[in-house]
Structure 1
């Protein structure tokens, strides 16, 4: 709940203090002046400014305020330069009263500093009053403890939800957006419903605000859906990262992974046991045991060459044979690599041609559409001179060959484009596998050549020398065992991570299945129905006549805004009826929230609602409608130019509203006592 009790504007000059000071009440408050330049809107702007809502007016800081706050103030024929200026605002939340002070012009004080006095305005100078300094319009001022809007959110007993942001993250639904649905500003506020809402990086901000004010269940459902989308993306990203990393490391060791699921799924113990690594047709643990056995056999061999000469010769022959076989395979793979590269280059070139053809055909189709709108004969495949049929092709008509139209060409080219992209991606995957195999072969050949070198050194060494090849082979086996063991340990650790992600995926699927099947709950549908009934009833009362049958108007279940046959009703409304529609929607939103325990703070501001020469009888009905509302405060700024508007106000029961008459100039010199 928000109630504005008192507004005080203080402007200090060398001639003393000037300003404005008045109190407001529950119900209808009319701030009236006979001239639109008397400062009435400057008083209303002070309310926006002190609450940090000046973005609704169209900017931040003192620049949204008029010159009287910043430059000079007129007093009769005298003009006094402004030395300092600021705004005091006393507000009430139903339990507590505070006074807010924010400077507009003051040396040494930034206008983003807000001072909160925990007392009524008349008591702020008394000792014992708790005073806090806060900030506004700075990073995190809506979430940090010393942020003024964080404080204001708590003070008004509002719990702002996290909603989807334009950057695909989530942000708090800012107070400025919510109050843009209730504070209708003079210049921008009357062009459309909630047209004064600033852009603060919230996706579909109007929709989110209406969901919050009406307290629709779908807002909570949307938050759950957004959370589920985030969880879905996170699990898939982590899963994909693990699988890719495992594949890279496994293939690097010339091994093959088995049973790795490419996408998230619920894994059983059997699924986990079926995930393993194979090398040369056996599981990696068995292969490591085979290497260990070879290492042990080398350990028992006699280390001198003279004892192993024949074995060394046989092993050298086998090693050289393996080198030749690997080199042949390397040559074949390099040939395949070259072939794949040629195919990919050709596919890329063909794709560029097809994409160009698609663009050209779409341009041609667009031009044909423009031609048909202009009623050109050529757009109807007819010669404009002789009225003979023509085709959109230069190929001679053979009588039996069917020529495709432009639209058929576009569909055909799109299909070709998809086919070529699929082929290109397939060949790129083949290229990656070939390149990985080439690296494996190059490493194997390098290792075998090193081994062959050691074997040759043994053959040509003195018989009593220690065998270099045995030592080299032991080192090689030890290194390979350590590398494969590290891979096996890492693979098992990643399996555990996949199991944890699988459990997260199971929880995600369960939460997704638990989402309501209907977009709107029965309560939501009832609230939207009540909003529509109030809206149409108000339109009827205020004399909306742009369409004869108001039952054609509906509340969009997508945007929660009024539509006619699916389109914004503004397009079917006259200028004055568009004003009536804004009156009706803003008031209906308050009424629906009050009836169905929504989140509306209960305060409205209309600055110059009698736009576009609306007849005084409708303005009178507008006033009477507001007077009948309960548990609310409505502040209206009006210029009374004619007797009809004055008469409409005079017809209201005197005890049903608070009339604040603004003289020729709203800002007057304060007496010494009032300062």
Structure 2
């Protein structure tokens, strides 16, 4: 990306004011005193890109009052009636557009950006204009959004990354710009300061990974895809499992499905999955049970076909038999209800025990952390010794003086974890018992209804002296209905089992793909890129005359992607002084690292920021790396904290020496002509020299 030109238009009653500058394709220095408006020009560039959040705030709130309220000209206040920013930009394939964005305008919102197709500022050419919006819902996702357009224009394809809430969030362009544009007030306080987080985990790390072109996003995207697929498979399995047992509960018999787990698995032997019916105290197959029902139906048919002259005695006997059956069923129903209540009570108690055990586990783990931290700090209490009276303090769950075996915190944690596992297994078992009891209750209810119906028919038979028993016919009807239900369930079971097979196979493929992914966060290619990044950073640190630590001891930590000092560990040396302990901190060789920022002077830390941002660009554009840096750096007052002229010259020399990099630097050079000359002598750059104020009359 190349920024070609910028123009500020301010309309007032006294005439037209503003500024207009064009920029070099390599290094441009905007020079002026501390109150001349360098930052105004710099912030106007960010505003035209819709990146004013890097300065602080959105829309006009981020800009100085001179662009929206009033400014001083020849000792008089001039009030702003209307103002706008125009910025001409060229992308990597040579397309040129001009962005026009209002600052103060009664007719136009600052959330609206006009995109002029062509070099409107440098050549006065514009063939077509379109309007885009920003800082509103969808501005970075919909085609009408300005940041969606800008992302496409600059050739970016921003990834989705993990958000703080676990959902996938887009890595917005504003976060990326924080690594290429550093404003003056807070920009030099961190390696990538003022970066908007947007609820993104480790957003700075994600930006560096993107600009370095690491494979981590593709791997993360694939992992996320596989995770989402696994969740979808699990959900589909649960839905099918619930559908299966809804059908089971609709039957009038005790049905169990053997060999089918509650949770989806990739190692299920479906040849062992079967449906069984509890009949006369034994488990038989569904086919066998249907055959028994057909035999019972035929037996009833034979009873109906036998000629009878007087069936009153048989009917009375049947009445007695069905009455006894009804009593038995009512007793079973009451027993099933009682058992169900007991199991539900057990489940409720189990859940309470799980909550209590979990709370105790959290408490013990917290105590263990405090104990470990105390040990690191050398606290007496961590060694089971009272810091006041120096008496022994038991690391125990029981009161002092009790003659019983005691458990320390670690043992108790292990005990509680095993208890939780046991309670959760019990919970699964109780849920199965509850489901079986609910089926028993439902089946017994249906059986009671059927028996009552048969009893009613038998009583009518006795009263009417009917030769052809209504009760036998009604029993046949019930059997027919049950056979139809069981056959429909058999067909459905076959369909659902096919669904289960497909889900199990999908999970197997998912797990195989997951296993083939790299076990570490970065691939081998990423490791080579990060090694190059470390070398570039270390070389830059040496060029900028860093003094706070030996350059050879500086390295990039692959977890945080920040500079650290290697072989340095913060240790604590303790000396007994009149019964107390004296803590003395010093550095000693070890495995852990210290953030180099904490051990650098203010000016040296700024040198580290220069080195870091330049190393990102240098690595991204290296011949062996195919990455995503836009090829531009914007620095506002990089010479912070009385920076040595030698270091500033090294920075400008590095910026001007790379023909692929456009850099725009706003600097005052301590308002010193000698400092400016020494910093830039014999370097190739374009100078924009501001007068007393950047805003002038056109």
Q: Secondary structure at the match of 1:641?
A: helix
Report if the CA contact (8 A) 1:114-1:135 is conserved: yes
Structure 1 residue ranges without an equivalent (≥5): 671-675
Q: Normalising by structure 1, what TM-score?
A: 0.87
Give the Å deviation of 1:49: 1.4
Using the alignment, how far apart are the partners of 2:408 and 2:271 within structure 1? Answer: 55
After the TM superposition, which of the residue ranges 60-69 and 166-175 deviates more from structure 2? 166-175
> How many residue pairs were aligned?
662
Q: Any residues of structure 2 matched to 1:66-465 within 5 Å, and which?
A: 66-93=64-91, 94-122=93-121, 129-253=127-251, 254-266=254-266, 271=270, 274-276=273-275, 278=277, 280=279, 281-288=283-290, 290-291=292-293, 294-295=296-297, 301=304, 309=312, 312-344=315-347, 347=350, 389=392, 391=394, 397=401, 403-405=406-408, 408-409=411-412, 412=415, 415-416=418-419, 419-420=422-423, 422-423=425-426, 426-463=429-466
* 2:480 maps to 1:500: no
Q: Secondary structure at the match of 1:635?
A: strand
Alignment CA distance shift 1:414-1:257 (3 Å) = closer
Report if the CA contact (8 A) 1:25-1:633 is conserved: yes
Which residue pairs with 2:551 in the alignment?
Answer: 550
* 2:626 maps to 1:597: yes
After the TM superposition, which of the residue ranges 343-352 and 5-14 deviates more from structure 2? 343-352
After the TM superposition, which of the residue ranges 421-430 and 114-123 deviates more from structure 2? 421-430
Give the Å deviation of 1:10: 1.0
Give the Å deviation of 1:277: 5.4
Give the Å deviation of 1:479: 3.1
Report if the CA contact (8 A) 1:160-1:173 is conserved: yes
Q: Secondary structure at the match of 1:666?
A: coil
Alignment CA distance shift 1:386-1:611 (3 Å) = closer
Using the alignment, how far apart are the partners of 1:408 and 1:521 within structure 2? Answer: 39
Q: Secondary structure at the match of 1:190?
A: helix
After the TM superposition, which of the residue ranges 297-306 and 114-123 deviates more from structure 2? 297-306
Give the Å deviation of 1:583: 0.4
Which residue pairs with 1:661 in the alignment?
Answer: 689
Give the Å deviation of 1:408: 4.9
After the TM superposition, which of the residue ranges 474-483 and 291-300 deviates more from structure 2? 291-300
* 2:635 maps to 1:606: yes
Q: Secondary structure at the match of 2:670?
A: coil
Which residue pairs with 1:631 in the alignment?
Answer: 660
Give the Å deviation of 1:392: 7.0
Alignment CA distance shift 1:420-1:228 (3 Å) = closer
Which residue pairs with 1:32 in the alignment?
Answer: 31
Alignment CA distance shift 1:443-1:613 (3 Å) = farther
Using the alignment, how far apart are the partners of 1:556 and 1:367 within structure 2? Answer: 27
Which residue pairs with 2:574 in the alignment?
Answer: none
Using the alignment, how far apart are the partners of 1:169 and 1:349 within structure 2? Answer: 31
Give the Å deviation of 1:354: 5.5
Q: Normalising by structure 2, what TM-score?
A: 0.85
> Pairwise CA RMSD of aligned residues?
3.4
**Over residues 370-414 of structure 1, what are the superposed CA-to-partner deviations in whole Å (9 max), with x where a residue is unaligned?**
98899887776557787655657895748x755444565555555
Report if the CA contact (8 A) 2:652-2:679 is conserved: no
Q: Secondary structure at the match of 1:543?
A: coil
Report if the CA contact (8 A) 1:553-1:562 is conserved: yes
Which residue pairs with 2:578 in the alignment?
Answer: none
Using the alignment, how far apart are the partners of 1:230 and 1:289 within structure 2? Answer: 45
Which residue pairs with 2:527 in the alignment?
Answer: 525
Give the Å deviation of 1:611: 1.5
Q: Secondary structure at the match of 1:140?
A: coil
Alignment CA distance shift 1:78-1:603 (3 Å) = same
Using the alignment, how far apart are the partners of 1:116 and 1:385 within structure 2? Answer: 73
